[in-house]
């Protein structure tokens, strides 16, 4: 187990290094630069800016400097989006906002997804199952911006004016309802669908028949005996879902004006704000790596048959 | 089951931990920005106003000298004040009046330079209570001229203030520019020639005073903290929640504190047009400048959207160095074939004026009758819809004269624009016009903004979308960019006669003669048809109908310091 963990951590670091190198050289390959605008600064100003931010040096030197600073926990300062503000400060400020929305979205997606999945399996073939199937299919295929727009029209000024459309920092709890619902909808529906099918799978197993034979109630069979085994595929979905929720929050964060990192991650690219591109990419990559590892470990606890140490041989 | 419960419990605990981490330090005790039922201004007279405004997303910088954006300038105008300032003329138009200066004397020197001696207003203070002195202006102008500051807009004083040109290039020290504090209340600025728009420059953010002591101690972080972001304007920043809002409150040290309008001005930072309109509709915003394009016609019809002039021109850049647009006849033909009415009536739809030439309407001339530069300069071609067919006929003749009768033999050319629904719609209209009228084949292509800027600047295109907004109300703001090798000369235009006229305009002391030189320079641009004007910009906005007292400069600055509930 320890050996496995060590190996995974080392591989994670290697992956991060590769991600940073690829991102660095790719972003510099893309034409355009942080200091260009409709009104171009004079050549003298441009030269000063490049000198100030170290862009006058060869690329490999720039990358070396970036790595050196990173070793000191320094991601550099923003060139453009928040000129001269340290990138670490920006991440520290914005990531918790993304995380907060993401966690709330995940909690409701997991709870409702599992419950709906069980209910659908329990009523397999019935009206409730059909209704849930239509709803979850819709939830999966609806793009985030469509969901967000419908919710906004319904609850934030169109039909009823009961919830704010601008979430912003320091928003009250109810301001998070719409964005969290939006962000969690598609994962919730996916979880419901996975739960239903793996639940049906589990219900066909011998030990379930045994349980029924012993006279255990239908409800108890589903929620006590079948659910545990049915959850394994769901847990494996949670890993990529975390990544989706935290980096795929771009649309939700833009529509609801949430000052989160997902939005910045995308905007930094069109702004050519190199330190923010590097900082957010490496940070989010590290986060995804850690979450995937966490899920793999969680897996082992849920299903003792999985042997992590063996898997990696 | 026990194991599962344990896992569920630890997941929940982890979640709670994350959620508690997510609290920012200043989260406690602050009013929710724009939350439903918060500060919604609903009826009532003489009610204190806490106006919530959106003009843009997070600003790149709010350092007045470093700023180069309109939104940054709007914030600066509320937090700082120059020697001159903008004031409401009572009809919502901004006019120039003395600000931190009470008055000035002007004297011509033996060498033809002009020395302005400003007397500072009495009782002017910084937001922390210290007195504003002439020395503060001296410091700030030197800071602007210092190449180390790397201010985008330092070119504003180039060729205006004596010594600025050398200081900007690094050939002379920044303190060699002719700006001198004689004593605490007297400031001397010497200009190369008499400049018509000098007082307007004094009201431009790059020339606002900043505090030497805070900048020297806090370095380039001084703008981020309300404690160090000290201004001398009507409002002061009391909170900046990045990517969310900038909150301003009245500056009790401002000399006209009693007359100020809103108790607070909250600049909500947003970048999604749909979200802006939803926020406005939901009563969370009192003012917005942007909304989804598709909504504009309905909003105009309902009277909710107001349109005001904006000094700027939308045009097509021809790359005059590359065939086939190295031929002036081809450029003229392409310019004449554009159906401008179609574009402003059916695509942009917010009162834009079809452009009859390059320098837009609304720019001052030296004419005592008050006629503007455009009126006196005349049209490059007729924009009367009745003459469009004649324009097209002439365009075909020109193209034939250039060797491509009916478009025969004309190579396929590409029109380049930056990715945006609006620019795309215009690109399609232009493509249709050129293909229909001239019988040529035009492809359209779009690029991401950052790539587009570089492609256009480097001249790696044939025809490209372009636009220019004035920095100050003078035709030179539109003309001097086209000098050979100019940083914004995307057309790659090279005309020695034009360069000579721009140089002559800079040293001409007589305002009428100077304007004539600028007219002559624009005539050369017209003869060469080095660009194809499309329309003159307008600015649109929506304001909470219960609020009045906002005012506007046609350079794009909205000012809220005297807004009130009706």
> Three-class SS string for B165-185?
HHHHHCCCCHHHCCEEEEECC
Dist CA B74 CA B86 (whole Å): 11
B-contacting residues of A 85-114, CB under 8 Å?
A: 85, 90, 93-94, 96-97, 99-100, 103-104, 106-107
- With residue B536 as reference, give the H or E element that holds it: strand B531-543
Is B232 in the same domain as B348?
Answer: no
B454 near A CB under 8 A: yes
List the end-to-end C-alpha distance of chain B, in Å, as a whole number.
66
A162 near B CB under 8 A: yes
Q: A31-43 burial by CB neighbour count: b if 16+ within 10 A, else e?
A: bbbbbbbbbbbbe
In the prediction, which pLDDT does B507 show?
Answer: 83
Task: Calculate how close chain B gets to A75, using CA atoms only, in Å.
Answer: 16
Contacts of B32 in chain A (CB under 8 A): 164, 168, 170-172, 175
Is B222 in the same domain as B317?
Answer: no
Residue that terminates a domain, selected from B239, B263, B287: B239
Instruction: Look at residue B148 and tell me if it is in a domain.
Output: yes
Rounded to 10 degrees, the C-alpha dihedral A58/A62/A63/A65 comes to 140
Instruction: Look at residue B499 and tell me if it is in a domain.
Output: yes
Contacts of B283 in chain A (CB under 8 A): 157, 161
Is B464 in the same domain as B345?
Answer: yes
Kindly state the average pLDDT of the residues B52-61. 94
The model's pLDDT over B243-295, given as tens digits with 9 standing for 90+, comes to: 899 999 999 999 999 999 999 999 999 988 888 999 999 899 999 999 988 88
With CA atoms as reference, report the closest residue to A76 among A285, A281, A279, A280: A279
Instruction: Look at residue B68 and tell me if it is in a domain.
Output: yes
The model's pLDDT over A77-90, given as tens digits with 9 standing for 90+, comes to: 999 888 999 999 99
A-contacting residues of B 216-235, CB under 8 Å?
A: 220-221, 224
B282 near A CB under 8 A: yes
Contacts of A82 in chain B (CB under 8 A): 58, 60, 242
Cβ–Cβ gap A82/B60 under 8 Å: yes
Cβ–Cβ gap B450/A30 under 8 Å: yes
The contacts of residue A264 (CB under 8 Å, 6+ apart) are A81, A90, A94, A276, A280, B243
Task: Look at strands B442-447 and B413-418 and give their pairing.
Answer: parallel
| Phi, psi of A24, rounded to the nearest 5 degrees | -60, -50
Task: Calculate how close chain B gets to A127, using CA atoms only, in Å.
Answer: 31
Kindly state the average pLDDT of the residues B212-240. 96
Task: Calculate how close chain B gets to A196, using CA atoms only, in Å.
Answer: 19
Is B85 in the same domain as B229?
Answer: yes
Size of interface A-B (CB pairs under 8 A): 200
Tokens 């290039």 sit at which residue? B169
With CA atoms as reference, report the closest residue to A250 among A263, A259, A240, A233: A263
A158 near B CB under 8 A: yes
Is B471 in the same domain as B327?
Answer: yes
The CATH code of the domain that includes B220 is 3.90.76.10
Tell whether the model's pLDDT for residue B324 goes beyond 90. yes
Dist CA A118 CA A123 (whole Å): 9
**Which among B35, B221, B243 is the nearest to A94, CB-wise?**
B243
Instruction: Look at residue B270 and tell me if it is in a domain.
Output: no
Instruction: Give the three-state DSSP class for B159.
Output: coil
Tell whether the model's pLDDT for residue B22 goes beyond 70. no
Is B235 in the same domain as B316?
Answer: no
Contacts of A149 in chain B (CB under 8 A): 274
Tokens 């834009």 sit at which residue? B352
Helices (DSSP H) in A123-226: which residue ranges? 127-141, 144-155, 177-203, 206-213, 218-220
Q: Which two tokens stand for residue B421?
A: 């629904």
Contacts of B63 in chain A (CB under 8 A): 83
Instruction: Look at residue B101 and tell me if it is in a domain.
Output: yes
A-contacting residues of B 10-49, CB under 8 Å?
A: 15, 18-19, 21-24, 26-27, 30, 32-36
Share of chain B above pLDDT 90, in %: 78
Cβ–Cβ gap B467/A80 under 8 Å: no
B148 near A CB under 8 A: yes
Dist CA A222 CA A228 (whole Å): 9
Task: Calculate how close chain A gets to B151, using CA atoms only, in Å.
Answer: 7
Instruction: Look at residue B80 and tell me if it is in a domain.
Output: yes
Is B230 in the same domain as B316?
Answer: no
Q: Chain B residue with minimal CA distance to A256?
A: B275
In the prediction, which pLDDT does B385 show?
Answer: 95
Residue B43 has a CB neighbour count (10 Å cut-off) of 8
A31 near B CB under 8 A: yes
Task: Count CA within 13 A, CB hemisphere, residue B474.
Answer: 23
Dist CA B455 CA B447 (whole Å): 9
Q: Rg of chain B's alpha carbons, rounded to an integer?
A: 26
Kindly state the average pLDDT of the residues B51-67. 94
| Most A-contacting residue of B27, B32, B467 (CB-CB within 10 A), to test interface | B32
Is B316 in the same domain as B228?
Answer: no
In the prediction, which pLDDT does A2 show?
Answer: 84
A123 near B CB under 8 A: no
Dist CA A87 CA B31 (whole Å): 27
| Phi, psi of B347, rounded to the nearest 5 degrees | -115, -60
Kindly state the average pLDDT of the residues B300-319. 94
Is B388 in the same domain as B489?
Answer: yes
Cβ–Cβ gap B68/A39 under 8 Å: yes
Contacts of A155 in chain B (CB under 8 A): none
Instruction: Look at residue B346 and tell me if it is in a domain.
Output: yes
Domain count, chain B: 2
Cβ–Cβ gap B61/A84 under 8 Å: yes
Instruction: Give the three-state DSSP class for A214.
Output: coil
**Which among B60, B279, B469 is the nearest to A166, CB-wise?**
B279
Kindly state the average pLDDT of the residues B430-435. 97
Residue B406 has a CB neighbour count (10 Å cut-off) of 12
Cβ–Cβ gap A164/B35 under 8 Å: yes
B-contacting residues of A 164-203, CB under 8 Å?
A: 164-166, 168-172, 175
Instruction: Look at residue B13 and tell me if it is in a domain.
Output: no
Find the domain containing B118 and state its range: 31-39+64-239
Along the 313 residues of chain A, how does pLDDT read in single tens digits?
788 889 989 999 999 999 999 999 999 998 888 888 878 888 888 899 999 999 999 999 999 999 999 999 899 999 988 899 999 999 999 888 888 899 899 999 999 999 999 899 888 889 999 999 999 999 999 988 899 989 988 888 777 878 888 787 777 888 889 999 999 999 999 999 999 999 888 888 888 889 889 888 888 888 788 888 888 888 888 877 877 787 657 888 888 888 888 888 888 988 899 999 999 999 988 988 888 888 888 877 777 777 765 554 4
Is B187 in the same domain as B68?
Answer: yes
Cβ–Cβ gap B68/A302 under 8 Å: no
The model's pLDDT over A114-173, given as tens digits with 9 standing for 90+, comes to: 999 989 988 888 999 999 999 999 999 998 889 998 998 888 877 787 888 878 777 788
Residue A271 near residue A282, CB atoms below 8 Å? no
Is B337 in the same domain as B226?
Answer: no
**Which among A104, A171, A270 is the nearest to B449, CB-wise?**
A270
Q: Chain A residue with minimal CA distance to B244?
A: A168
Cβ–Cβ gap B454/A254 under 8 Å: no
Cβ–Cβ gap A164/B282 under 8 Å: yes
Cβ–Cβ gap A97/B30 under 8 Å: no
**Which among B19, B224, B448 is the nearest to A100, CB-wise?**
B19
| Most A-contacting residue of B159, B282, B420 (CB-CB within 10 A), to test interface | B282
Contacts of A30 in chain B (CB under 8 A): 450-451
Q: Which two tokens stand for residue A183?
A: 């962000």
Residue B551 has a CB neighbour count (10 Å cut-off) of 21
Kindly state the average pLDDT of the residues B58-78. 94
In the prediction, which pLDDT does B8 show?
Answer: 46
Residue B29 has a CB neighbour count (10 Å cut-off) of 6
- With residue B254 as reference, give the H or E element that holds it: none
Dist CA A277 CA A30 (whole Å): 13
Instruction: Give the three-state DSSP class for B340.
Output: helix
Contacts of B224 in chain A (CB under 8 A): 85
Cβ–Cβ gap A48/B268 under 8 Å: no
Residue that terminates a domain, selected from B239, B270, B286: B239
What structural domains and CATH numbers belong to chain A? 2-71 (no CATH), 92-312 (1.10.3720.10)
Cβ–Cβ gap A169/B283 under 8 Å: no
Q: Which two tokens stand for residue B56?
A: 């843009």
Q: Which two tokens stand for residue A29?
A: 């390959």
Residue B211 near residue B231, CB atoms below 8 Å? no
Cβ–Cβ gap A42/B274 under 8 Å: no
Task: Calculate how close chain A gets to B190, using CA atoms only, in Å.
Answer: 24
Residue B186 near residue B180, CB atoms below 8 Å? no
Task: Look at strands B50-54 and B551-553 and give their pairing.
Answer: unpaired
| Phi, psi of B95, rounded to the nearest 5 degrees | -120, 160
Contacts of B21 in chain A (CB under 8 A): 96, 99
In the prediction, which pLDDT does B208 show?
Answer: 98
The contacts of residue A60 (CB under 8 Å, 6+ apart) are none
Across B283-383, the runs of DSSP E, i.e. the strands, are 287-288, 305-318, 353-354
Task: Calculate how close chain B gets to A137, using CA atoms only, in Å.
Answer: 27
The model's pLDDT over B192-222, given as tens digits with 9 standing for 90+, comes to: 988 888 999 999 999 999 999 999 999 999 9
The model's pLDDT over B339-353, given as tens digits with 9 standing for 90+, comes to: 999 999 999 988 899
Residue that terminates a domain, selected from B211, B239, B267: B239
Q: Chain B residue with minimal CA distance to A224?
A: B1
Cβ–Cβ gap A157/B245 under 8 Å: no
């Amino acid at each position: 187990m320890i050996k496995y963990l060590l190996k995974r951590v080392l591989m994670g670091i290697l992956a991060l290094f590769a991600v940073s190198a690829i991102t660095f050289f790719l972003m510099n390959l893309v034409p355009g630069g942080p200091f260009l605008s409709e009104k171009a600064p004079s050549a003298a100003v441009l030269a000063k800016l490049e000198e100030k931010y170290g862009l006058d040096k060869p690329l490999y030197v720039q990358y070396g400097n970036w790595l050196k600073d990173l070793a000191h926990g320094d991601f550099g300062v923003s060139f453009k989006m928040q000129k001269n503000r340290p990138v670490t400060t920006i991440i520290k400020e914005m990531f918790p906002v993304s995380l907060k929305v993401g966690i709330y979205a995940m909690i409701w997606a997991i709870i409702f997804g599992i419950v709906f999945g069980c209910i659908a399996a329990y009523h397999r073939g019935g009206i409730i199952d059909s209704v849930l199937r239509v709803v979850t299919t819709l939830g999966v295929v609806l793009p985030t911006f469509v969901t967000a727009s419908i919710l906004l029209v319904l609850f934030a000024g169109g039909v009823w004016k009961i919830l704010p459309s601008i979430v912003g920092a320091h928003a009250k709890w109810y301001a998070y309802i719409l964005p969290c619902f939006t962000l969690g909808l598609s994962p919730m529906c996916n979880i419901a669908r996975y739960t239903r099918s793996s639940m049906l799978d589990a219900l066909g197993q011998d030990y379930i028949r045994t349980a029924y034979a012993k006279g255990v109630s239908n409800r108890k069979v589903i929620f006590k005996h079948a659910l545990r085994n049915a959850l394994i595929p769901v847990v494996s979905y949670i890993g990529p879902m975390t990544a989706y929720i935290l980096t795929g929050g771009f649309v939700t964060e833009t529509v609801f004006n949430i000052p989160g990192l997902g939005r910045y991650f995308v905007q930094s690219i069109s702004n050519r704000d190199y330190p923010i591109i590097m900082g957010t990419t490496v940070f989010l990559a590290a986060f995804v790596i850690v979450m995937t590892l966490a899920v793999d470990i969680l897996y082992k606890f849920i299903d003792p048959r999985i042997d992590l140490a063996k898997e990696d041989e | 089951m026990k194991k599962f419960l344990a896992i569920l419990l630890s997941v929940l605990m982890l979640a709670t931990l994350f959620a508690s981490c997510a609290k920012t330090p200043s989260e406690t005790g602050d009013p929710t920005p724009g939350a439903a039922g918060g500060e919604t201004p609903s009826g009532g007279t003489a009610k204190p106003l806490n106006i919530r405004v959106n003009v843009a997303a997070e600003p790149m910088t709010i350092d007045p000298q470093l700023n180069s954006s309109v939104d940054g300038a709007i914030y600066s105008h509320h937090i700082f004040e120059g020697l001159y300032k903008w004031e409401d003329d009572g009809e919502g138009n901004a006019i120039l009046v003395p600000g931190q200066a009470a008055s000035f004397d002007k004297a011509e020197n033996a060498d033809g330079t002009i020395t302005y001696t400003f007397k500072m207003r009495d009782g002017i203070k910084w937001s922390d209570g210290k007195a504003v002195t002439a020395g503060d202006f001296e410091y700030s102008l030197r800071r602007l001229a210092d190449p180390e500051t790397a201010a985008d807009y330092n070119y504003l004083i180039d060729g205006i203030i004596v010594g600025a040109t050398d200081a900007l290039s690094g050939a002379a020290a920044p303190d060699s520019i002719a700006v001198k504090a004689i004593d605490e209340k007297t400031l001397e600025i010497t200009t190369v020639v008499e400049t018509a728009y000098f007082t307007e420059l004094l009201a431009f953010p790059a020339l606002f005073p900043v505090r030497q002591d805070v900048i020297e101690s806090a370095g380039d972080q001084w703008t981020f903290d309300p404690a160090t972001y000290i201004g001398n304007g009507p409002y002061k920043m009391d909170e900046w929640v990045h990517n969310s809002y900038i909150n301003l409150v009245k500056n009790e040290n401002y000399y006209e504190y009693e007359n100020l309008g809103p108790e607070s001005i909250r600049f909500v930072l947003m970048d999604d047009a749909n979200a802006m309109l939803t926020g406005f509709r939901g009563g969370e915003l009192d003012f917005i400048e942007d909304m989804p394009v598709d909504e504009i016609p309905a909003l105009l019809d309902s009277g909710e959207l107001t349109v005001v002039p904006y000094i700027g021109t939308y045009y097509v850049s021809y790359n005059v160095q590359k065939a086939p647009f190295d031929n002036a006849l081809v450029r003229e033909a392409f310019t004449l074939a554009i159906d401008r009415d179609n574009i402003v009536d059916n695509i942009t739809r917010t009162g834009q004026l079809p452009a009859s030439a390059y320098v837009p309407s609304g720019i001052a001339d030296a004419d005592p009758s008050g006629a503007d530069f455009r009126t006196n300069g005349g049209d490059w071609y007729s924009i009367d819809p009745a003459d469009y067919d004649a324009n097209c006929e002439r365009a075909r003749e020109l193209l034939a004269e250039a060797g491509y009768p009916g478009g025969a033999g004309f190579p396929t050319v590409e029109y380049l624009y930056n990715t945006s629904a609006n620019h795309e719609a215009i690109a399609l209209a232009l493509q249709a016009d050129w293909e229909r009228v001239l019988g040529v084949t035009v492809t359209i292509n779009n690029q991401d903004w950052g790539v587009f800027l570089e492609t256009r600047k480097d001249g790696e295109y044939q025809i490209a979308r372009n636009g220019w907004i004035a920095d100050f109300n003078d035709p030179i703001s539109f003309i001097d960019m086209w000098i050979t090798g100019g940083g914004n000369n995307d057309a790659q235009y090279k005309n020695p006669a034009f360069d000579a006229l721009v140089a002559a305009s800079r040293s001409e002391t007589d305002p009428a003669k100077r304007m004539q030189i600028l007219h002559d320079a624009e005539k050369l641009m017209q003869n060469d048809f080095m660009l194809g004007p499309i329309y003159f910009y307008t600015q649109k906005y929506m304001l909470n109908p219960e609020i009045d007292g906002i005012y506007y400069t046609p350079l794009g600055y909205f000012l809220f310091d005297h807004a009130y509930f009706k």
